[in-house]
Amino acid sequence: MRMRLMLLGGGNALGQALIRLGAEEDIGFLAPRPPDQGWDAPSLTNLLDDNRPDVVINLAYYFDWFQSGHVDEAVLSNQERAVERLAELCQHHQFVLMQPSSYRVFDGARTTAYSEKDEVAPLDARSWALWRMEQSVRALCPRHVLLRFGWLLDDSSHGLMGRFLQRLEQSDELPLADDRRGNPTPVEDAARVILAVLKQLDCQAPLWGTYHYGGHEASTPLVVGQALMAEAAHHRQLKIDTLTAVAHAACTDAADEPQHGVLACKKIFNTFGIKPRAWRTGLPNLLERYYRHG
């Protein structure tokens, strides 16, 4: 790869997956350690002035955006300012900015898959922050790729999947929605997509814009939970043997979580040739890594 790649967030689950996949193809990343307080506008300014990469992959706030149960609004506000500054810096230095986003920018009111042209309608503070950050990137840095992902599953102990697996060993009952839909996406698959996009940008293809990606076969939390439970049973003694189906409206996060968050992935296929992978095929390796860490 001719381009110099800077990865912000190399220590989190998606960053680690990207580094692992890159290493298999001799693609390296400059992955600086964040300051103690995390990346903010001044530290990003110094970092980019000093290092001058060709591409910045911003996974710095991955956990808050994709895995955390709740994010404080003051934290989100600081992240917005940092992303705005990052976009300004990338435009100033003529770097490419790759920025992740989420299905959460939609309200989930429609039952068909969302394309990149559909109107957004965020439901909660995190979703609104993600949408404002998207707008900052578009306005300030024309050379950008915004990647909206579906339900990301990773091997971190405090992530969505980790919290679910822990409850399997501790709870007597675990309710999951059977009328909520999205694209489960193992973190290795998301990393594969990022790497595939980077390779084409390395060929000087000016394919800027917003793209959707989610694992093949839209599903419900109940079905995903059942698949994870079957795989987890190979590793641990579980306290629960069946999951309880409930309505989306009865879930504690119903006001914040889109009921229908399925993403249409035609544009990323037509532009980059990236085909969605079946999410189920990624579960064995994902759980293997999770339990090995634990």
Query: For the chain, which residues make up each domain, given as ranges?
Result: 5-155+184-215+261-270
Closest Cα to residue 229, out of 278, 288, 168, 149? 168
* Beta-bridge partner residues of 210: 146
| Alpha carbon 32 to chain centroid, angstroms | 20
Q: Tell me what pLDDT residue 238 has.
A: 85
pLDDT averaged over 10-residue windows placed end to end, the chain, 294 residues: 92 96 94 90 91 95 92 93 95 96 96 95 95 97 97 94 92 89 97 95 86 96 95 89 93 93 96 95 95 82
- Beta carbons of 247 and 194 less than 8 angstroms apart: no
Task: Name the 3-class secondary structure at 226.
Answer: helix
Q: Tell me what pLDDT residue 9 has.
A: 94
Q: Tell me what pLDDT residue 240 has.
A: 85
pTM for the model stands at: 0.95
CA-to-CA separations, 268 to 88, 191, 235, 260, in angstroms, rounded: 26, 14, 36, 20
Identify residue 153 by its one-letter amino acid code. L
Closest Cα to residue 101, out of 52, 144, 164? 144
Closest Cα to residue 143, out of 62, 54, 79, 213? 54
Q: Tell me what pLDDT residue 206 has.
A: 77
> d(Cα 114, Cα 255) in Å, to the nearest integer?
19
CATH of 5-155+184-215+261-270, one of 3.40.50.720, 1.20.120.140, 3.40.50.1110, 3.90.1150.10: 3.40.50.720
Q: Tell me what pLDDT residue 172 has.
A: 76
Tokens of 266: 């035609």
Q: Tell me what pLDDT residue 69 has.
A: 84
- Please name the residue that has the structure tokens 């990207």: 18
| Alpha carbon 72 to chain centroid, angstroms | 19
